[in-house]
C-alpha cells in the first residue's frame, strides 16, 4: 500500500509538463487541498522540483538527485513491499531493520537511505556509505530452518543482479554475495538474522550499491552511473523489486531452483581460487566448478570436488 505522499509524487510524474491541479490531486487522494499543499511542500523539501502556477496547479520539473525514500516508494512495483521507510542518513539500515524486527514489523518492510555513518560489511568490515549510493535493508521472515537459510544470501545477490539488469546493466556474481560489473564490485550483501535451530525468526537482508562515483569508495569499485543514468532512488527501487523476485523464487523452490541462474552470471567459474576463513587461514583451493543446490562453492582439485560452505575467495596468480 503506497503512502499518500508517494501517490502525490506519482500523480505529478504522470501528469508531466501539463501539470495537475490541487483540486484533482485532492479528489484523487481523498484529502483536502491544504493536505495536498503540505505534501507538495514536503516533496520540495525532499528535493523534488515542483512549479506551482496560481489557479492552474503543480507541475514536476525535476526529480531528487540523491536517494529519497518517497521516490523509492513511487518507483517500486512489487507488492511484496508493504512499507518503505528511510531517511537521508542513518547509522546502518541493517540495525534499523533489526529494530523493526524486534518491534514486530511485517515481512516486506524495507529501509532505504542515502548515506550511512556506520555501514557494516561482511566479516566484520566497515561498508563505506557516502552520498550517491543506495543503501537498503529488507526485513524477511522466511518460513525455514537455519540450515536452509544459508543459501538465502547468494539468492539475494541474484536478486540484486535481477534488479540492476532491469536497468540495462549487465552484471556478474562473485560467490557468495558480491555483485560485479566488469570484474569490479558494484554491490554487496550482508544478511543478519535471529534464529533457533529449526526456525528462522527474521532476516535483515542489507544491500549497498555504488551508484555514483565518490572519493570515499574503494578504488576497485564499479559504479552503476557508468552504465545507466538511473538515480540512486531508481537503483534502490529496482534492487528491491529484484530482491522480491528472488525471494519468491527461493521460497518456491529453494536455491536449487535458482542455481542455474546464479551460475549463468558467476564470474568465478573456471578460475583457480583460494578460499580463506575470517582469520585468513586457507579453507580450500582449486578450480571453480560453480555452485551446488545448497549454494556451496564447488571446487575441483586433484582429489576430486570439494564443496565450500563459507569464506572469502581470491583468485590465484
Ligand atoms: C559486503 O561486505 O560486501 C556487504 C556489504 C553490505 C552493505 C549493506 S549497506 C545496507 C546494509 N546496512 C549495512 O550496515 N550493511 C548493509
Domain ranges of the chain: 4-62, 69-263, 272-315
Ligand 1 centroid vs 32 CA: distance in angstroms? 41
DSSP run (H or E) holding 243 = helix 232-253
Pocket test for ligand 1, best of 69, 89, 121 (most atoms within 8 A of CB): 121
What does pTM read for this prediction?
A: 0.96
For atom 2 of ligand 1, the residue with the nearest CA is 121
Q: 4-62 domain in CATH 1.10.10.10?
A: yes
pLDDT band at 54 (very low <50, low <70, confident <90, very high): confident
Residue 142 CA neighbour count, 13 Å, CB half? 34
For atom 3 of ligand 1, the residue with the nearest CA is 188
- State the Cα–Cα distance between residues 169 and 18, nearest whole angstrom: 32
Ligand 1, pocket residues at CB < 6 Å: 92-94, 116, 119-122, 125, 127, 135-137, 188-190, 206-208
Write the pLDDT tens digit of every residue in 91-125: 999 999 999 999 999 999 999 999 999 999 998 89
Q: Do domains 4-62 and 69-263 have the same CATH topology?
A: no
Average pLDDT over residues 183-196: 96
- State the Cα–Cα distance between residues 222 and 115, nearest whole angstrom: 18
- State the Cα–Cα distance between residues 127 and 133, nearest whole angstrom: 11
pLDDT mean across residues, the chain: 96
Domain range 69-263, CATH class:
alpha beta
Q: What percent of the chain has pLDDT over 70?
A: 100
User: What is the predicted pLDDT for the residue at 1?
Assistant: 75
User: What is the predicted pLDDT for the residue at 215?
Assistant: 83
User: What is the predicted pLDDT for the residue at 230?
Assistant: 97
User: What is the predicted pLDDT for the residue at 19?
Assistant: 94
Residues 75 and 9 sit within 8 Å (Cβ to Cβ): no
Average pLDDT over residues 162-174: 98
Average pLDDT over residues 12-32: 94
> Beta strands 304-308 and 297-301: pairing type?
antiparallel
Specify the fold of 272-315: SH3 type barrels. (2.30.30)
Residue 270 has pLDDT above 80, yes or no: yes
Ligand 1 centroid vs 235 CA: distance in angstroms? 15
User: What is the predicted pLDDT for the residue at 216?
Assistant: 83
Residues with Cβ within 8 Å of residue 117, at least 6 apart in sequence: 89, 90, 91, 129
- Residue 208 CA, closest ligand 1 atom number: 9
Average pLDDT over residues 287-296: 98
User: What is the predicted pLDDT for the residue at 197?
Assistant: 82
Nearest to 42 by CA among 73, 9, 19, 11: 9
Residue 218 has pLDDT above 90, yes or no: no
Amino acid at each position: 500500500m503506497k503512502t499518500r505522499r508517494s501517490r502525490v509524487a506519482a500523480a505529478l510524474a504522470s501528469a508531466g509538463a501539463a501539470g495537475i491541479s490541487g483540486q484533482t490531486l485532492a479528489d484523487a487522494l481523498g484529502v483536502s487541498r491544504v493536505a495536498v499543499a503540505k505534501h507538495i511542500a514536503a516533496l520540495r523539501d525532499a528535493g523534488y522540483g515542483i512549479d506551482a502556477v496560481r489557479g492552474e496547479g503543480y507541475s514536476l520539473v525535476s526529480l531528487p538527485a540523491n536517494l529519497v525514500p518517497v521516490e523509492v516508494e513511487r518507483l517500486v512495483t512489487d507488492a511484496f513491499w508493504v512499507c518503505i521507510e528511510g531517511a537521508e542518513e542513518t547509522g546502518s539500515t541493517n540495525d534499523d531493520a533489526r529494530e523493526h524486527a524486534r518491534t514486530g514489523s511485517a515481512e516486506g518492510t524495507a529501509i532505504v537511505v542515502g548515506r550511512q555513518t556506520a555501514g557494516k560489511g561482511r566479516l566484520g568490515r566497515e561498508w563505506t556509505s557516502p552520498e550517491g549510493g543506495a543503501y537498503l535493508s529488507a526485513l524477511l521472515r522466511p518460513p525455514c530452518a537455519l540450515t536452509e537459510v544459508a543459501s538465502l544470501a547468494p539468492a539475494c545477490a541474484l536478486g540484486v543482479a535481477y534488479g540492476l539488469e532491469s536497468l540495462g546493466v549487465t552484471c556478474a556474481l562473485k560467490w557468495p554475495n558480491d555483485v560485479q560489473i566488469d570484474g569490479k564490485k558494484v554491490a554487496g550483501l550482508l544478511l543478519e538474522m535471529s534464529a533457533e535451530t529449526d526456525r528462522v525468526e527474521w532476516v535483515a537482508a542489507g544491500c549497498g550499491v555504488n551508484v555514483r562515483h565518490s572519493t570515499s569508495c574503494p578504488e576497485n569499485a564499479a559504479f552503476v552511473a557508468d552504465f545507466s543514468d538511473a538515480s540512486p532512488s531508481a537503483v534502490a527501487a529496482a534492487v528491491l523489486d529484484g530482491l522480491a523476485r528472488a525471494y519468491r523464487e527461493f521460497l518456491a523452490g529453494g536455491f536449487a531452483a535458482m542455481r542455474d541462474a546464479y551460475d549463468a552470471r558467476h564470474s568465478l567459474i573456471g578460475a583457480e581460487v583460494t578460499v580463506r576463513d575470517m582469520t585468513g587461514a586457507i579453507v580450500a583451493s582449486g578450480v571453480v566448478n560453480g555452485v551446488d543446490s545448497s549454494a556451496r562453492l564447488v571446487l575441483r582439485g586433484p582429489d576430486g570436488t570439494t564443496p565450500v560452505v563459507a569464506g572469502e575467495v581470491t583468485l590465484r596468480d
